[in-house]
Every structure is written in C-alpha cells, then in structure tokens.
Structure 1
Amino acid sequence: MRILLPPSEGKTAPSEGEPLDVSELAFPGLTKTRERLLDVLSRLTFPRALKYLDVGPGLLDEAQRNLTLRDAPAAPAHEIYTGVLYEHLGLGSLPGENVLIASALFGFLRPSDRIPAYRLSMGSTLPRIASLPALWRDPLRRAIPDEGLIVDMRSSSYTAAWKPKQATLVGVRAFVDGKTVSHMVKATRGDVARLLLSSPSTPETPEDVASLVRANGQSVELSGSGRSWSVDINL
C-alpha cells in the first residue's frame, strides 16, 4: 500500500538548516523539471508575481520566499507542510516509507525529503508554463511506480498531474449530512491516513481499507469496481 497526500498551502519555514539539495530528493527522474521550476520562481518579479502564483497581497511575504529557495534553510517535508490534514495525521511520529506527498514544485516527495518553504499551487500559471499538471504528466508517469494498492488523498488539480492506470486506486471522501465540507474532508483524510499507517497489518485491498476505517467506529460505504474505488465516510 502507498498513500498519496496533497501538499498544504500553508507551510512552516525552518529558521535554520542546510539549504535544498535537489540531487538528494526522491525520484531523480524528476530533477530536470524541479530545476526548471526553481529557476522560473527565482526570476519572478513582484508584485506581478502574485498574479502568476494566484495569491493576494496578504501573502506577499510567503510568495517572496520563492526568490531564495536554493539558499533558504530546508527541513524534512513532513515538518514543512502544515494545515488540517497534517495536524490530524501527525506524520512525524509514523513510518513514512509508504507515503508520497504531491507537490507542484517537486512532483512527489518522501516525508523525509528536505525542502524549503515555498509558495506554488498546481493551479498556478507561470511564464512559458501554461499548465503545471501538463508539465508534470510525463515526468511523473516515467518516475512513479504504478502498481499495488494506492490510497489517494489528493485534490483534483494534483490527480490531473498523475493518475495511476495499473494500480488499484482508493479515494477517500467525507460527508456531513450528505454534503462535502472541505475542512472536515481534510481532517478525515488525515485521520484515515494515520489509521492506515498505524495498523499492524498493511491493507492490501479496498475492502481492507474500508474494514479498518469501519472498525475505528466510522460509518463507511465502499463503492467501485476493478481498479477504481471510493471509501465514503459519513460524519
């Protein structure tokens, strides 16, 4: 089993530490695309850069970090990403070898990969790069193993960059009174990821995933067939 996590928009910038070394990140086949994006971000001028990054003036300080990403202190990805899902997951206290974190800047990361805090979402449109999902599609297809059971917690913009075709894919959704509530979905996905990573037995099928969540006291419906499934949790 592998778990695919989204990044978080909010990030905690480390105050000290060695800078980014792109050559040490997982999946060396992604290095060329990573380097290209780092170069593009380092050349963005402000305040025009805010339009490219699709953020408001209130996030100017975060966006300006992009200018010095190669020299800024780096830390393990599980310490950089914050937000509701990561608060509920508590990834730093769990084994991370079965976890991949999606990133508009780095493609996919291991939780232990050391990165700086940055500002870039998969929906951004950069100079000479009209679509980040399209830019990443071929490099990710070549680099990321497409096999086994994959529990996918990513949002639609990140699934557009890489969607497995051979693996058995399980999505996780959450509903409150039949409606999707973004905050609750993120919290629930963090709880489910923690449950799966903490389990003494590794899930091997969609039924295993649903059973573990159900055994944790949740109301669960499993739907799908073949290689595409969804675990729906009613809160």
Structure 2
Amino acid sequence: MLLLLPPSEKKATDGDGPPLDLGALSLPELGAAREQVLTALEALCGGDPAHARDVLGLSAAQGDAVDRDREIRAAGTLPAAGLYTGVLYDHLRLAELLDGPSAAATRDSVLVFSGLWGVVGPTDPLPAYRLSIGTKLPPLGALGRYWRDHLGDPLTKRADGRLIVDCRSAGYAAAFTPAGDAAERTAAVRVLRETVVAGTVRRSVVSHMAKATRGAVARALLLAGRAPESPRELAEALNDLGHTAELVAADKPGRAATVNVVEQG
C-alpha cells in the first residue's frame, strides 16, 4: 500500500536540526528537479518582497514567509512528520505512528506531496517553507505541470505491485496521475456527508473537513497493520475498522476507482 497525502499550508517553524541536505530526502533521483525549484524560489524571494508575496499568494502580513523562503538552506530542519500541521495531520498523528509498532509501515507507505520538494517521506528532514503547488514560479511556470513531468516514472516504480490510496487534494493530484496498471491499483478517497432532510437521504461532498476523515482513515489503516491490495479490499478494510466505505468502480480500464467514506450528519 502507498498512501499519497497533500502537505499542509501551515507548517511548524521550530526546526532545530541540521540545515537542508537534498541528498537525504526520499526519492533522491528527484534531487536535480528539487534544486531547480529551490533556486527559483530563492531568486524570487531575494528580489522585490511585494512581487514575491504576489507570486506566492501571500498577504502583506505574511512577509515572514518570504524571509524564510529566502533563507531556506540555512534554516533548521525537523522531520516531515513534525513539519506538516493542520487538520489532516492532527488526525493522522504521524510522529506517534513513527514511535510505535506501525513505524516501519508508516515509513514505507506514506508519501507527502509538495510544491517545493515534489514528494517527501515522513522522516525526511525539512525546513519550514511556503510554496503551494498552484504557484506559477518564474521561470519554471506552473508547479503542478513541472512536477508532473518529473514524478511519473519514480512514483510508478515506487508503486509497483502496490495499492495506491490517494488522499490528496485536487491541486496535488494533478502533479501525478497513475496510469495503466498503476491506475487500476489506485483508489481515490472521497468523503461524503449523509443527512436526512424531510425523510429524504441526501449526500454532499465534504471539502475542508474531508481532511480530518482522510487523516483518520490513513491512521486506522497503519495502526491496524492493514495493507489492502485492491480498491475493493480497501473498502472492506475501512468498514472493518469502523468507517462506512463504499467502492465506486472505475468506469473503464486504466482508470482509478473511488472509495467513498460516508460521514453521518
């Protein structure tokens, strides 16, 4: 099983580990691509601060993020498991998983997507940064497209023979789309809210709080030591673990399935 996660917009800023070493990150074959993005980010943040904020989608009050991005190579680091915060990571609690019996499975299964690094593993030492996948970073352009050109081959190899459990948001999903056999071993986790209105059952797609459910789902699978091998087995495992999950099969060969996780109320 391979769990694909989005990063969080908010990140811890208290890293006190050694400075960034690109060679120490997971998927070292991405080193040259990471260096290119990092160099472009440093150049942007070393210029006009107002222009940098505009490109990065930041307000004037978030100027400290531009300063951090400019000094990123000298900043202290901490493991990705502690860097990423927010709703999904509050419910996943990666650091706890890495300290317990699920540590090996967590290290092997979890990949976090990033506008700056492409993808990272949970133990990768990283500095705080701010760079969304939706950024058009001069001179590289749209980062979703940039990373799509670099991630396909290494991630397809990493996922060989494994179920891909896709918990990413749409922007990060655009950076890698499983194809062929890998797509048929992929299940996108979608969260639905079910309510009853005037006796009629209604369902709606959950947006922000879907992150909480995806974090809980990923944690439950890792804690239980479950390693489903197909979208159908994933739905069955989640139901066994107390969630309400429904498989929506792919509409044609070579496409991913969806597993709906249904929340009540």
TM-score (norm 2): 0.84
Q: Deviation string for 1:46-101 (max 9, x for gaps)?
A: 02101111122232212321001100001111110000000000111222221111
- Bigger radius of gyration among the two: 2
What residue number does 1:68 align with?
71
Picking from 132, 139, 142, the partner of 2:143 is: 132
1:172 paired with 2:175, answer no
In structure 2, the residue corresponding to 1:232 is in which secondary structure?
Answer: strand
What residue number does 1:115 align with?
126
1:32 paired with 2:49, answer no
The answer to whether the Cα contact below 8 Å between 1:18 and 1:74 also exists between their aligned partners in 2 is yes
- Between 1:173-182 and 1:150-159, the stretch displaced more is 173-182
Picking from 106, 112, 119, the partner of 1:101 is: 112
> How far apart in 1 are the matches of 2:215 and 2:53?
30
RMSD (Å), alpha carbons: 1.4
Q: Deviation string for 1:170-224 (max 9, x for gaps)?
A: 1111122322232320000000000111123421121221112212332222101
Matching residue's letter, 2:120? L
Closer/same/farther in 2, CA of residues 190 and 201 from structure 1, 3 Å limit: closer
The answer to whether the Cα contact below 8 Å between 1:29 and 1:139 also exists between their aligned partners in 2 is no
In structure 2, the residue corresponding to 1:18 is in which secondary structure?
Answer: coil
Picking from 213, 217, 231, the partner of 1:188 is: 213
> How far apart in 2 are the matches of 1:7 and 1:63?
18
User: 1:15: how far off?
Assistant: 4.2
User: 1:139: how far off?
Assistant: 1.6
The answer to whether the Cα contact below 8 Å between 2:34 and 2:118 also exists between their aligned partners in 1 is yes
Matching residue's letter, 1:110? G
What residue number does 1:154 align with?
168
What residue number does 1:43 align with?
43
Matching residue's letter, 1:18? P
TM-score (norm 1): 0.95
> How far apart in 1 are the matches of 2:225 and 2:21?
34
Structure 1 residues without counterparts, runs of 5 or longer? none
Matching residue's letter, 1:154? R
> How far apart in 2 are the matches of 1:15 and 1:117?
8
In structure 2, the residue corresponding to 1:218 is in which secondary structure?
Answer: coil
Structure 2 residues without counterparts, runs of 5 or longer? 98-102, 195-202
User: 1:233: how far off?
Assistant: 1.6
The answer to whether the Cα contact below 8 Å between 1:26 and 1:109 also exists between their aligned partners in 2 is yes
Aligned residue pairs: how many?
A: 235
Q: Deviation string for 1:135-185 (max 9, x for gaps)?
A: 112221222224221001111111111111132111111122322232320
> How far apart in 2 are the matches of 1:155 and 1:209?
19
> How far apart in 2 are the matches of 1:197 and 1:172?
15
In structure 1, the residue corresponding to 2:205 is in which secondary structure?
Answer: coil
1:223 paired with 2:248, answer yes
What residue number does 2:90 align with?
87
> How far apart in 1 are the matches of 2:226 and 2:176?
27
> How far apart in 2 are the matches of 1:138 and 1:218?
36
